Amino acid sequence: MNLLSAKNISHTFEYELFRDVSIELDEGDSIAIIGISGSGKSTLLHILSTLLTPDTGSVELFGKNVELMSKKELAKIKRDALGLVFQSHYLFRGFSARENLEVAAMLSKQEIDDEVLKRLSILENMEQKVTQLSGGQQQRVSIARVLTKKPRVLFLDEPTGNLDKTTANEVMDIFFDFIRDNNAAMILVTHDEELASRCRRVYRLQNKELIMVK
């Protein structure tokens, strides 16, 4: 089943970032997007995850053009079916790690999965306040929070940027297992070509074009 289909996307800020970008994401897919800093990777991910409307082109989620969705319909899809892990996470800082996950679990009517917390090595930190956690621990809590929703599409922007190489690979294992077990898919933005190569397909954003390199 097709989860996401983007056609002929173009976008310009101060200068044209990219044009005519098309991409398809099916169940079980993993796609990496690499490219130098400033090439527009994050902007493209914002467009694909409906946070930003492209200048031209269309994005379909689960077979429906997002521009034709009502605000309510789109909000529900964003809440239940899309999982966003960005460089700066948005944990509630006054809350404990567990309280942050409880909010996600409640909103999506899912359970917190202790197995995921164990694999992320944060089970022991769940009662600590966000501000008492290291940057890497905060990043892993934000990953656990996103996975708690059981989204169908994961949008990952440098999700392991704060982590050492071993931990980064372990976190990627968790993402790959997650999409396999939940008929989900992921789009990973990274500058790390080694991490990218673990994905089924790899694209490079270069000279305003998205080119398939694997």
Ligand X SMILES: Nc1ncnc2c1ncn2[C@@H]1O[C@H](COP(=O)(O)OP(=O)(O)O)[C@@H](O)[C@H]1O
Please tell me whether residue 117 binds ligand X under the rule CB under 6 A. Answer: no
* Dist. CA 199–CA 197, nearest whole Å: 5
Residue of 48, 101, 85, 69 whose CA lies nearest to 159: 85
Q: Of the two residues 17 and 117, which places its CB atom closer to Mg ion in the complex? A: 17
Give me the helix-helix angle, 135-148 and 97-108, nearest 10°: 20
Q: Does the protein bind ligand X through residue 43 (CB under 6 A)?
A: yes
42: contact with ligand X by CB under 6 A? yes
Inter-helix orientation angle 135-148/165-181, to 10°: 0
Out of ligand X, Mg ion, none, which partner does residue 63 contact, by CB within 5 to 8 A per kind?
none
Task: Name residues contacting Mg ion, limited to 20-49 (CB under 5 A).
Answer: 42
| β-bridge pairing 2-12 and 56-61 | antiparallel
Q: Which burial class, exposed, middle or buried, applies to 118 when counting CB atoms under 10 A from its CB (0-12, 13-18, 19+)?
A: exposed
Segment interacting with ligand X, rule: CB under 6 A, options 20-28, 32-40, 72-80, 113-121: 32-40
Residue 77 vs 189, nearer CB to ligand X: 189
- Specify the stretch interacting with ligand X by CB under 6 A; choose among 11-19, 62-70, 74-82, 138-146: 11-19
The listed partner (ligand X, Mg ion, none) that binds 125, CB under 5 to 8 Å by sort, is none
- Residue number with CB closer to ligand X (37 or 207): 37
Q: Which of Mg ion, ligand X, none has residue 35 at its interface (CB below 5 to 8 Å by kind)?
A: ligand X
**∠ Cα 14 188 184 (to 5°):** 130
Q: Is 17 in the site for ligand X (CB under 6 A)?
A: yes
The CA distance from 197 to 214, in Å, is: 8
Q: What is the DSSP letter of 156?
A: E
For ligand X, the closer of residues 14 and 181 by Cβ is 14
Query: What is the DSSP secondary-structure string of 65-128?
Result: EGGGS-HHHHHHHHHHHEEEE-SS----TTSBHHHHHHHHHHHHT----HHHHHHTT-GGGTTS
Q: Choose the contact partner of 13 out of ligand X, Mg ion, none; CB within 5 to 8 A by kind.
A: ligand X
Which one of 21, 32, 40, 48 is in contact with ligand X (CB under 6 A)?
A: 40
Residues of this chain that interact with Mg ion (CB under 5 A) are 42
What residues make contact with ligand X under the rule CB under 6 A? 13-14, 17, 35, 37-43
